Structure 1
Amino acid sequence: MRPARIATATARRLPALGTALLLALGPFAPPAHAGDTAPPPTTTVRHAGTAAPRALPVPKSPDTPRDPRPLAAESQGRPTAPTAGDTVGAAPSAGPARTARQLTACDPATFTGAAGATLVQRVRSAGLDCVNTLFTLTGTDAKGAFNEAQMVTVADALRDTAAAYPGGNSTSTGQLVLFLRAGYYVQWYHPDAVGPYGAGLRTAIRGGLDAFFAAPHSRDVSEANGATLAEAVTLIDSARENARYTGVVKRLLDGYTTGWTGSMAAAVGNTATVIERGFELPEFTAALQADPTFATSLASFVTRNAAGLTGSDPVTTVGIQIGNLVAVDGLRTQGRPIVKDLINRYPLVGATAPLTMNLLWFAEKKDAGNCSYYGTCDLPAKLVPLVLTSDHSCNPNLRIRSQSMTAGQNADTCTSLVGQDAFFHRVVKDGGPVADDRNTALEVVVFDDYYNYSLYAWEMYGIAVDNGGMYEEGNPAAAGNQARFIAHQADWLRPSFQIWNLNHEYTHYLDGRYDMYGDFDAGMTTPTVWWVEGLAEYVSYGYRGVHYDDAVTQAGKGSYPLSTLFDSTYDNADSTRIYNWGYLAVRYMLQSHPQDVDALLAAYRVGDWNGARTLLKTTIGTRYDADFATWLKACAADDCGSLPTDQAPLCTTADARQYDRNCRRDGVAAATGDYAYSFLRLPPGVQQLTITTSGGSGNADLYYNGPSWATTSSYQAKSTGPGTTESLTVTAPPSGWVYFSLHARQGFAGVTVTTTYN
């Protein structure tokens, strides 16, 4: 399932996505040959231009794992609700954090049917697991347990108990703290059921927290104290008393060392919530303005403990909150020098990257226009070689830059894209690139996982990262326009290797180059989403031979007539209609009405958007709706049919080695190590020659050598994937005789070879 593709006007001005598989030819010295000669075609390398990109987001997989390392962009969107009951338990033996739904339930009547001293006794005698289930109360149970009078009673009990707090949970202080946390949580989400909280509770909770944090044993550095302390720190934020307890936060930060582990480390980590959501409260900001030592405590906390940075540690979690200092007008003077120092002090890659990159996010997003002060104006360019340490060229026009892809993974990705090129052209039957399209080179950027994509891609490429990747088309008519697909590995599928959405997005590139005139915005002049996204789904699933379960399921529902799908846009359709139903519409049209598809693409390829629209809505209109409905029923039963056979005619010359403009030869064969040599004569002015192979058995590699016989040691371009499916597209080949061959890496037979040119 994929989210809507949209143009992003705010993306960094980067070059756009271009053709991957038009193989430029190098100046190799050919052996002697028969026939005419001509100089080899020149190689044209297109460098990054300045055209504005059309940034098209890729879907984020629902299977993307949640990474424990922080992302500043995510934290800015959090609600100000109290934290749920899934933090460290208050007893030393409580074990790992667990959510309320995972804990053993207890009877809410235990708490709703009691008041005063009886309520306090029941809370204190209940197990922590039982109290933690109270975060899920609703309705009358929520009212009975957590109305203000009940909360005041328990807060007063915390005050009285805390006076003799022993540094552990032997007096059940943890149950009292957790009950109060649950009350604030439930009241936030169900205020009408619970009722309002007022001054009485505020006075009581301050008394309880004051007493706890004043207790000498609340300062103990121990697992026993840390369990209850961690919950009490979170209660500060639940009660929105962040400003009152900045001194407690400083005390924890100033005392922390990397020797604090377990619950003590969790207690320090929980201060991040107090700090982060404190910035939403004017009184908290005022407290920090009045006490500049809070900012210096934050900075010292990071620099003292930097050796322990891992990305998932309390120092990183809390240190990132320093960035909020530059987001507040009254605190920016305090925050700027600290943020500048930390960004430039620690590496942007490795264990310190989650801290430095998140602080950089605050500097750029919340203190925009000051990159000179921070020394970060040239950072996007610097990051590319630091982060993308693998640089692999499939051929002169297809490049893969990644964090850590292996040689085998690079080779497999190249093979996948090269093979898809041939599959695509067989489906759409194009005659070469549309006019004015210069997207002749593709760069595929692959981060190790979604987290690294989110951490770096926003800065390196100026894109939104709340998605699963981004395809940048740019202005294909601009000289030097660079096409780029920014992606990440599907780490949830490991040990299998997969680049998320690679084939879907590559189809967008091919479709834009060979079917859609102009840039992405031009193609959206009229509703074309059914074709653009439907074709990408069709080619991706069809080429990979993957059964499209979701689309077949949707076919059984019969939700849309074909004529309605022709009207789909990113604004009026959800992801199911755009992708599942786009696939069904495209597949039906390709199989049942290929002549209409030919006419439609003829209009798209010259930018006749109105003519294409007339074909869909007037010429076709509703005429195919009934047949489409019948086809959907068959497809739901897993009988979706297949594309009509569309092969080039057989070549007619007597010499089995000779080919022509649009012809094929079947049954091509060679023994292991041998060649099947071939040639054809090109007239002057040929823009593009395409040679494809398919079918049969064995392993045949395709080599092209222009005006000389082609061998494994003398060639200008090659396609050497596994099996017999190969494709070469040569731009501006010489006129006269040109030569290609199939080399049998493993003996092959029954192979079909097709040549076309325009």
Structure 2
Amino acid sequence: MRRLPVLGAAVFLTLGLFVPQSQAATVGAASGATAPAPAPRAIPVPKSPHAISDNPRFRLSSQDSAEETAPRPAPAAAKASKLAPTAAADACGDLSGVIDSTGTALVQQLKALPQITCTYPLFNLTGEDARKTFREAQMVTVADALRDASATYKGDNSTSVGQLVMFLRAGYYVQDNHADVVGDYGTALKGAARGALDAYFAAPRSKDVTDANGEILNEVVTLIDSTHEAGRYAGVVKWMLGGYDATWPGQMNLAMQHVEWVVENGFKAKNDERGWRAALKADPAILDTWAGFITRNGAQLNRLDVVSNVGRHLGNALDVPELKDRVRPLLKDLINRYPNVGPTAPITMNLGWYTRQYDRGNCAAYAICDLGQRVLPAVLPTQHTCTPGLKIRAQDMSPGQLASTCTSLAGQDAYFHRVIGDKGPIPGDVNTDLEVVAFDDYTQYALYAWAIYDIDVDNGGMYEEGNPAAPGNQARFIAHEASWLRPDFQIWNLNHEYTHYLDGRADMYGDFEAGMTTPTIWWVEGIAENVSYGYRGERNADAIAEAARKTYRLSELFDTVYGQEEDPEVNSNRVYRWGWLAVRYMLQKHPADVQTILGAYRTGDWTGARTFIKQTIGTRYDADFATWLTTDCATNDCGPLPDAPTTATTPLCTLGDPRQFDQNCRRDGLSAAAGNYSYHFVYLPAGVQRLTITSSGGTGNADLYYGGGSWATTGSHLAKSVNAGNGETLTIDNPPSGWVYFSLAAAQDFSGVSLSTRTG
């Protein structure tokens, strides 16, 4: 069954809604304890660059993209050499003394800084300044100074311990991003950092629930994460989970927020290199404290709250086999204690997702086998029918938005067939019904789509073809609105994904897994991008820019598969942008070859298509492709997307009556004045399974009507295609034998139109 993921992201926070984390493994069904059914055919949708980087309300997690985090607000860009003050204007002075000092002088320079924020520019050091400042010996010096200062810590920054902590944080951050410049950190720093943290947490005033202590504590908690020592300081996390409540002041609340970094990265660490899992196994009572942290502060659950933020990671404990029995009843209680919609949804739905990820097939243990069915009517209340074969289910769409979506999809059908060539559905493909599901934004999609539709959500949506040979099969595109474009309305990748539906019916035999027998992604994603951009009349600026780089040969692009490149962004670039370029070139320069390849794809002859691509085509077009990238793409935006050669190569009708068609022929130069018709008919013998009628070319606006055994008019017809312009297609399954009638109705004066019929 066919599943194509849409463009998306992993752990996003937008409008205050947490969403499940990136899913690295294929996830099975969550609807019962029995073995899961085979996954539906699904194709991923490209991720939105806007949702990831351009919209400030989105972030991958509480942590920045780098391993270590810079302080918030982010410091201004650093100078190339000595740093001028950036964090607190002139009050901070020049940081040259910090950069150039060593030993006791370095500690004195740091303590002399008038406030903690004066250290912010250190996070931007690069080059020789970074090496001098943060080489291991310097870090050990400051860690030892923090250890000594912690012995008399007074619960505030009166002795400048904050500046020492921030120096260490900055060092780990810069080294993590520029290890080739700073050099490696070894056992000397590891021991010194442990000594500093041990001394701080041993100080009685380190547990003061005050803003003064919180200002230091929130950075020290982050330093735990920087040093990769989550397991060693599990007791600190347990104390904070057990002590936190709504009375904690702002800076202490911030320290609690930073606990998320410690536990999240502790679970993620390979081979438990941070010791977090071992610490939980040694003291599983931390899990009870964690659950109590949530229930004790349940009144705070309101999307952006620290309780949801930190609490949801309790679900990661299911990934520790020794803790499963201990954590199962805790999660069952939490998931069912609070509503699964509204302000408490981020905690309940995230914890539910963890049970699917790490305890799949065991939903009964959490009483959530019907979770998707429970939330469906509340989350997706809007149902709308465009046509009998096209329906929309939405979270929040206006009547106008529903109508415009229906119109967009109807018009794209004819455009697709004009580009591909009108051959009609693959014999045996009965996938006549498509449901478009539109969540309100990415976070709503990620929060609920996994439970309702049993899909991964680390993408921009999902197209599920299902089994195209099964009667009554429901193909479905599960998507979300492009909230970053508001007030303009757009369902992200709607036209891209609808192309997958059309392509699956017209070009790709069987299900998605069958098509993956050989590399076909160059075509699957390349044609979806071409039709999506072309139909909307948009310039694919990113792909055109890629053309100038000439990164790939055409013969390489024929080998593209999902996940081929190690870097996800590079892989996405190859799949979508270079897929667009490869398909566009082939449609322009070698349309006959495209038809040969699609002829094999339509019959499921994947090996035959592959042989033709690798042996007949091989590398013979590589040089011309490189020239095309340099010329056509540089001067003409890679040229227009041409119509398929099918209409032009369909033979002209030879019957004397200009209204009559053979089963497979075309008539050119048709015309009519506005309000009038160009009437036609064809005789069909018994046994014809499909009649396809296509119009194209010319000027004006001709709409296509089919009347079956009667003349077709705008007021009396069985089917119609009424797009702007003259690109219309009607596919009639199991038409009656005998004479059938169709017409071109002039919505405006039209002339020079070609009309063709094809039976199958």
TM-score range, shorter chain: 0.7 to 0.9
Does structure 2 retain, via aligned residues, the 8 Å contact 1:152–1:205?
no
> CA–CA distance in 1 between the matches of 2:356 and 2:540?
42
* Equivalence for 1:18: none
Does structure 1 retain, via aligned residues, the 8 Å contact 2:699–2:753?
no
* Residue 148 (structure 1) shift: 1.6
2:635 partner letter: D
* Equivalence for 1:85: 70
* Residue 153 (structure 1) shift: 1.3
After TM superposition, the structure 1 stretch with the greater mean CA deviation from structure 2, 577-586 or 362-371, is 577-586
* Equivalence for 1:591: 588
Residues 13-46 of structure 1: CA deviation (Å, up to 9, x unaligned): 79xxxxxxxxxxxxxxxxxxxxxxxxxxxxxxxx
> CA–CA distance in 2 between the matches of 1:372 and 1:491?
35
The correspondence of residues 268-283 of structure 1 with structure 2, limited to 5 A, is 268-277=256-265, 280=272
Does structure 2 retain, via aligned residues, the 8 Å contact 1:703–1:711?
yes
Query: SS at the partner of 1:685?
Result: coil
Does structure 2 retain, via aligned residues, the 8 Å contact 1:701–1:742?
yes
Does structure 2 retain, via aligned residues, the 8 Å contact 1:669–1:751?
no
After TM superposition, the score normalised by the length of structure 2 is 0.79
Residues 657-684 of structure 1: CA deviation (Å, up to 9, x unaligned): 766644356565565xx56474524413
Residues 177-206 of structure 1: CA deviation (Å, up to 9, x unaligned): 323433454566648445532545423431
Does structure 1 retain, via aligned residues, the 8 Å contact 2:659–2:680?
yes
* Equivalence for 1:403: 395
> CA–CA distance in 2 between the matches of 1:404 and 1:751?
43
* Residue 290 (structure 1) shift: 7.0
With over 3 angstroms needed to count, the CA separation of the structure-2 counterparts of 1:693 and 1:9, relative to structure 1, is farther
The correspondence of residues 66-145 of structure 1 with structure 2, limited to 5 A, is 83-87=68-72, 97-99=73-75, 101=77, 104=86, 107=95, 109-110=97-98, 112-116=100-104, 119-120=107-108, 122-137=110-125, 138-143=130-135
* Equivalence for 1:461: 453
> CA–CA distance in 2 between the matches of 1:100 and 1:250?
35
* Residue 558 (structure 1) shift: 4.9
Does structure 1 retain, via aligned residues, the 8 Å contact 2:415–2:727?
no
* Residue 635 (structure 1) shift: 0.4
* Residue 236 (structure 1) shift: 4.1
1:635 partner letter: D
The correspondence of residues 551-570 of structure 1 with structure 2, limited to 5 A, is 551-558=543-550, 562-563=554-555, 565-570=557-562
Query: SS at the partner of 1:64?
Result: helix
Question: Does 2:666 align with 1:663?
Answer: yes
Does structure 1 retain, via aligned residues, the 8 Å contact 2:597–2:609?
yes
> CA–CA distance in 1 between the matches of 2:106 and 2:555?
68
With over 3 angstroms needed to count, the CA separation of the structure-2 counterparts of 1:307 and 1:659, relative to structure 1, is farther
Alignment partner of 2:209 out of 219, 222, 225: 219
Structure with the larger RCO, 1 or 2 (CA within 8 Å, 6+ apart): 1
With over 3 angstroms needed to count, the CA separation of the structure-2 counterparts of 1:263 and 1:734, relative to structure 1, is farther
* Residue 70 (structure 1) shift: 10
Question: Does 2:167 align with 1:179?
Answer: yes
Alignment partner of 2:340 out of 343, 348, 352: 348
Does structure 1 retain, via aligned residues, the 8 Å contact 2:700–2:750?
yes
* Equivalence for 1:35: none
Alignment partner of 1:301 out of 277, 281, 293: 293
Question: Does 2:480 align with 1:495?
Answer: no
* Residue 750 (structure 1) shift: 4.4
* Residue 733 (structure 1) shift: 2.5
* Equivalence for 1:372: 364
Q: Which runs of 5+ in 1 are unaligned?
A: 15-48, 88-96
Residues 212-251 of structure 1: CA deviation (Å, up to 9, x unaligned): 6456xx223x4x5543332233334445565665565455
With over 3 angstroms needed to count, the CA separation of the structure-2 counterparts of 1:654 and 1:314, relative to structure 1, is same
* Residue 695 (structure 1) shift: 6.2
Query: SS at the partner of 1:151?
Result: helix
Does structure 2 retain, via aligned residues, the 8 Å contact 1:69–1:312?
no
2:116 partner letter: L
After TM superposition, the structure 1 stretch with the greater mean CA deviation from structure 2, 260-269 or 342-351, is 260-269
> CA–CA distance in 2 between the matches of 1:410 and 1:704?
26
Does structure 1 retain, via aligned residues, the 8 Å contact 2:103–2:138?
no
> CA–CA distance in 1 between the matches of 2:25 and 2:216?
49
With over 3 angstroms needed to count, the CA separation of the structure-2 counterparts of 1:396 and 1:503, relative to structure 1, is same
> CA–CA distance in 1 between the matches of 2:339 and 2:754?
53
> CA–CA distance in 1 between the matches of 2:359 and 2:6?
34
> CA–CA distance in 1 between the matches of 2:319 and 2:572?
35
> CA–CA distance in 2 between the matches of 1:182 and 1:437?
60
Does structure 2 retain, via aligned residues, the 8 Å contact 1:56–1:470?
yes
Residues 154-174 of structure 1: CA deviation (Å, up to 9, x unaligned): 3312332x2x33x5x455343
Percent identical = 51
With over 3 angstroms needed to count, the CA separation of the structure-2 counterparts of 1:243 and 1:70, relative to structure 1, is farther
Does structure 1 retain, via aligned residues, the 8 Å contact 2:382–2:395?
yes
* Residue 317 (structure 1) shift: 0.6
* Equivalence for 1:756: 757
Residues 624-662 of structure 1: CA deviation (Å, up to 9, x unaligned): 555545544430343455537745677788888766644
Query: SS at the partner of 1:303?
Result: helix
The correspondence of residues 628-707 of structure 1 with structure 2, limited to 5 A, is 628-639=625-636, 640-642=638-640, 643=642, 646-647=647-648, 661=663, 662-664=665-667, 668-669=671-672, 671=674, 674=675, 676=677, 678=679, 680-683=681-684, 684-692=686-694, 704-707=706-709
> CA–CA distance in 1 between the matches of 2:133 and 2:485?
43
With over 3 angstroms needed to count, the CA separation of the structure-2 counterparts of 1:490 and 1:481, relative to structure 1, is same
Does structure 1 retain, via aligned residues, the 8 Å contact 2:557–2:579?
yes
Residues 479-537 of structure 1: CA deviation (Å, up to 9, x unaligned): 44432333233333332223333323333332332223333343344444443333333
1:63 partner letter: H
Question: Does 2:255 align with 1:263?
Answer: no
> CA–CA distance in 1 between the matches of 2:564 and 2:313?
39
Query: SS at the partner of 1:227?
Result: helix
* Equivalence for 1:38: none
Question: Does 2:199 align with 1:207?
Answer: yes
* Residue 696 (structure 1) shift: 7.0
Residues 88-113 of structure 1: CA deviation (Å, up to 9, x unaligned): xxxxxxxxx32574882853542551
* Residue 372 (structure 1) shift: 1.1
After TM superposition, the score normalised by the length of structure 1 is 0.79
* Equivalence for 1:522: 514
* Equivalence for 1:445: 437
Q: Which runs of 5+ in 2 are unaligned?
A: 9-23, 31-35, 79-84, 88-93, 566-570
Query: SS at the partner of 1:612?
Result: helix
* Equivalence for 2:14: none
* Residue 722 (structure 1) shift: 5.5
Question: Does 2:536 align with 1:544?
Answer: yes
Aligned pairs, how many?
698
* Equivalence for 1:608: 605
Does structure 2 retain, via aligned residues, the 8 Å contact 1:688–1:732?
yes
With over 3 angstroms needed to count, the CA separation of the structure-2 counterparts of 1:124 and 1:617, relative to structure 1, is same
Query: SS at the partner of 1:472?
Result: strand
> CA–CA distance in 2 between the matches of 1:465 and 1:327?
19
Query: SS at the partner of 1:56?
Result: strand
> CA–CA distance in 2 between the matches of 1:560 and 1:118?
51
With over 3 angstroms needed to count, the CA separation of the structure-2 counterparts of 1:50 and 1:289, relative to structure 1, is closer
* Equivalence for 2:220: 232
* Residue 2 (structure 1) shift: 9.2
Query: SS at the partner of 1:98?
Result: coil
After TM superposition, the structure 1 stretch with the greater mean CA deviation from structure 2, 456-465 or 354-363, is 456-465
RMSD: 4.2
> CA–CA distance in 2 between the matches of 1:9 and 1:433?
33
Does structure 2 retain, via aligned residues, the 8 Å contact 1:691–1:754?
yes
Query: SS at the partner of 1:392?
Result: strand
* Residue 710 (structure 1) shift: 5.4
* Residue 340 (structure 1) shift: 0.7
Alignment partner of 2:145 out of 150, 153, 160: 153
With over 3 angstroms needed to count, the CA separation of the structure-2 counterparts of 1:537 and 1:338, relative to structure 1, is same
